[in-house]
């Protein structure tokens, strides 16, 4: 029998992660962003990373169309932003400090790192699509990461 969806979510939640906002922008300039923790480094040569985007997400069609995205790694003071970008159908960028990156996608100010990518490959991942991004630019800033563990936000306490 296949594992129950809620049980799967509960078990996977035992893997502690950082939290990112992945941004992209359409040809007409419409910005999109979603909170995501399915993110990993993949390759140094060429420099590649992996994200996984829900096919039902409002921002989903923009990834294939724009062929660019930026991963913004959130700081422990950006929990409210994480919550905001995890809700579909709101005007997510209103009141948010950001600037356009070299690839055109928004860079969220105050994040502890951002990694600008262009789409390198896409793979079917069931109800998600796995996108490999080729890293074009990357930068870090001081700060502690926002963490996600067992369905809740956490912070490093040291
Ligand atoms: C901590 C956390 C991690 C998430 N990780 C992902 C992810 O990796 N991929 C994804 O597609 N959705 C993820 N989500 C859900 C999206 O943020 C959510 O579905 C969002 O509303 C999508 O935005 P959109 O519909 O405006 O594109 C995550 C949500 C939270 C709170």
- With a 6 Å cutoff on the Cβ, whether 79 touches ligand 1 is no
Q: Which domain holds residue 111?
A: 20-75+88-149
Q: Is 81 a member of any domain?
A: no
The model's pLDDT over 26-35, given as tens digits with 9 standing for 90+, comes to 999 999 999 9
C-alpha 20 – ligand 1 centre gap (Å): 10
Rounded (5°) CA angle 123-60-145: 90
pLDDT at 158: 76
Q: Whose CA is nearest to atom 20 of ligand 1?
A: 86
- The answer to the question of residue 49 being in a domain is yes
For the chain, percent of residues with pLDDT exceeding 90: 96
Q: Are 53 and 60 in contact (CB under 8 A)?
A: yes
> pTM for the whole thing?
0.97
Q: What is the C-alpha R_g of the chain? A: 15
The answer to the question of residue 7 being in a domain is no
Task: Supply the pLDDT for residue 38.
Answer: 98
* Interval 117-139 mean pLDDT: 98
Instruction: Report the domain count for the chain.
Output: 1
Task: Indicate whether 121 belongs to any domain.
Answer: yes
> What ligand 1 atom has the least distance to the C-alpha of 17?
1
Mean of all residue pLDDT scores within the chain: 97
> What's 49's domain CATH number?
2.30.110.10
Q: Is the CB of 129 under 6 A from ligand 1?
A: no
Q: What's residue 157's pLDDT?
A: 87
d(CA 70, CA 21): 8
pLDDT computed for residue 1 by the predictor: 81
More confident site: 150 or 157: 150
| Burial degree of 65 (CB within 10 A; 0-12, 13-18, 19+) | middle
Q: Is 130 in the pocket of ligand 1 (CB under 6 A)?
A: no
Ligand 1 mean position, distance from CA 69 (Å): 15
Q: What is the pLDDT of residue 90?
A: 84
The answer to whether residue 105 sits within a structural domain is yes
Among 75, 86, 88, 58, residue whose Cα is nearest residue 151: 86
Q: Whose CA is nearest to atom 14 of ligand 1?
A: 36
By percentage, how much of the chain surpasses pLDDT 70? 100
């Amino acid at each position: 029998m296949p594992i129950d969806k809620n049980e799967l979510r509960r078990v996977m939640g035992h893997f502690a992660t950082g939290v990112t906002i992945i941004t992209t922008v359409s040809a007409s300039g419409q910005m999109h962003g979603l909170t995501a923790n399915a993110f990993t480094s993949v390759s140094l040569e060429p420099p590649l990373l992996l994200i996984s985007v829900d096919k039902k997400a409002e921002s989903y069609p923009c990834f294939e169309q724009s062929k660019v995205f930026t991963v913004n790694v959130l700081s422990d003071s950006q929990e409210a932003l994480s919550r905001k970008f995890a809700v579909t159908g709101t005007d997510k960028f209103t009141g948010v400090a950001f600037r356009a990156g070299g690839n055109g996608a928004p860079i969220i100010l105050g994040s502890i790192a951002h990694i600008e990518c262009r789409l390198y490959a896409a793979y079917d991942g069931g109800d998600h699509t796995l996108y490999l991004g080729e890293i074009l630019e990357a930068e870090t800033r001081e700060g502690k990461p926002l963490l996600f563990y067992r369905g809740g936000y956490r912070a490093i306490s040291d």
